[in-house]
Chains A and B, each alone.
Chain A
Amino acid sequence: AQTVTQSQPEMSVQEAETVTLSCTYDTSESDYYLFWYKQPPSRQMILVIRQEAYKQQNATENRFSVNFQKAAKSFSLKISDSQLGDAAMYFCAYGIGSSNTGKLIFGQGTTLQVKP
């Protein structure tokens, strides 16, 4: 069965600094997708970034980038120039590419605190 593990329950970063959130996953599939979702106190689920497993290039979205290590089954999120609005819970998620349902499996989440 596929699993997603986030080993850091809480992280903190100083405003304007860089922080990296860790995620590992376990799968026997070759075609899959990985995601980072942000959940602010409003509890809305907001897609931050997405990575296709077949792509070697790491995805980037403005200040957000990933370090995707397929062999190690690792998918970390780097937030550069952290802002107060980045404070939230971050979930790593996995989806099978060939799935006929499209369900996502989420990790336990990492709460990010941004200090002014």
Chain B
Amino acid sequence: EPEVTQTPSHQVTQMGQEVILRCVPISNHLYFYWYRQILGQKVEFLVSFYNNEISEKSEIFDDQFSVERPDGSNFTLKIRSTKLEDSAMYFCASRGPISTNEKLFFGSGTQLSVL
């Protein structure tokens, strides 16, 4: 089965630093997502991305966050100035190419630790 690939699997950073989390969605998918999961808590929606623009974002996705699909294959999440509370597992997901009703494929996640 095709896979969504996320790198790195673990990222440690100092508070206030910028981080970029990278994802390679499945090649013919058109809908892309970032979710996050604080340890022991539920998975929370951050942002959805379609046709090179954000289609929906949650309250968590404030001005410190941005997403980009720079080259048609990678899909990145940038946190400009990390806070302690940004420590979480970040999941990339993709679906498509037909509709938003298709199966959602998740990557293995990037564990972000902010010190």
**A interface residues, Cβ below 8 angstroms from B:** 33, 37, 42-47, 50, 91, 93, 95, 97, 99-109
User: B48 touching A108 by the CB < 8 A rule?
Assistant: no
Q: Tell me if A's interface is mostly helix, strand, loop or mixed.
A: loop
Question: Could you say which interface size class chain B belongs to?
Answer: 20 to 34
Contacts of B106 in A (CB 8 A): 44-46
Contacts of B99 in A (CB 8 A): 102
B75 part of interface (Cβ distance < 8 Å): no
| In the complex, per-residue mask of B28-50: 1 if CB is within 8 Å of any chain A CB, else 0 | 00010100010001111100101
**B interface residues, Cβ below 8 angstroms from A:** 31, 33, 37, 41-45, 48, 50, 55-56, 89, 91, 93, 95, 99-101, 103-104, 106, 108-109, 111
With beta carbons under 8 angstroms apart, the residue of B31, B37, B101, B104 that contacts A47 is B104
**Bound CA span A31–B37, Å:** 27
Contacts of A93 in B (CB 8 A): 43
**Bound CA span A101–B100, Å:** 6
User: A106 touching B43 by the CB < 8 A rule?
Assistant: yes
